[in-house]
Amino acid sequence: MQIEGASAVVTGGASGLGEATVRRLHARGARVVILDLDDKKGPQLAAELGEGVLFAKTDVGSEAQVQAAVEQAQALAPLRIAVSCAGIGWAQRTVNKEGIPHDLGFFNTILTVNLVGTFNVLRLSAAAMLKNPALAGGERGVVINTASIAAFDGQIGQLAYAASKAGVVGMTLPAARDLSKGGVRVLTIAPGTFNTPMLALLPEEQRAALASGIPFPPRLGEPDDYAHLVISMVENSYLNGETVRLDGALRMPPK
């Protein structure tokens, strides 16, 4: 599918994987709406990139806010691309060493942002895409979600995060099948260990240790590696209903 002349929404678009995706899409001629809660970095990025890039302060769990951002994108050009990068993490054992069970509130919060928020963006973006005129081959749009290798290799303490990301993986094929007659594709990227602002908080020694465990290339993933895959997925119209690991062949140990 051609990127130039289309509009896109990118959640978590003010930093990390989302920011890299916004930059790549804009460079390829898309008009982009950045959905993020960061009302400092979001407007700064939109101002830097200039015409055709807007910021919408958005909680991905809010139907009204996501719908408003989708409508902003539709006003720029036909909405044909939606990328969900917004997500949060939490580390806690099912039952800790003191016998205290995992906090239910935190579990619900992680699922609300990572899984329910992703679904919210998926359903509202797809509804808009189905109204588009069909392109060659009948395609109307593509939705790309973000899971994690934790969906498959969840480590000790990653119960809530792994469950939320496994849910994103589980949505991919049925959503693609649901939307197939309308020409909307659904895909998921499952990143490994990436050099994002969250990981930047770790000491350099820990970052180097994480990188050394990656088979090849022996480095942390860069946000642009993720954005590059987004572009490839958008342009390859035969790729649908699939989750792609982007991890340098890393398989996470128990801890």
CA 251 to CA 249: how far, in whole Å? 7
> Which of 107, 119, 161, 226 does the annotation list as catalytic?
161
In a domain, 1, yes or no: no
CA 221 to CA 244: how far, in whole Å? 14
In a domain, 92, yes or no: yes
Q: How would you write the pLDDT of the chain (255 residues) with one tens digit per residue?
A: 999 999 999 999 999 999 999 999 999 999 999 999 999 999 999 999 999 999 999 999 999 999 999 999 999 999 999 999 999 988 889 899 999 999 999 999 999 999 999 999 999 999 999 999 999 899 999 999 999 999 999 889 999 999 999 999 999 999 999 999 999 999 999 999 898 876 766 667 767 777 888 999 999 999 999 999 999 999 999 999 999 999 999 898 888
Which tokens in the block code for residue 246?
A: 């982007």
In a domain, 253, yes or no: no
In a domain, 58, yes or no: yes
Which uninterrupted H or E stretch holds 83?
strand 79-84
**Domains in the chain: how many in total?**
1
pLDDT for 15: 95
Q: The pTM is what?
A: 0.94
Which domain, by its residues, includes 36?
7-246
DSSP label of 115: I
CA 234 to CA 216: how far, in whole Å? 25
Determine whether 40 is exposed, middle or buried from the number of CB atoms within 10 Å of its CB (0-12, 13-18, 19+).
exposed
CATH code, domain with 11: 3.40.50.720
In a domain, 2, yes or no: no
In a domain, 232, yes or no: yes
Determine whether 255 is exposed, middle or buried from the number of CB atoms within 10 Å of its CB (0-12, 13-18, 19+).
exposed
CA 1 to CA 176: how far, in whole Å? 16
Answer yes or no: 161 catalytic: yes
pLDDT for 202: 64
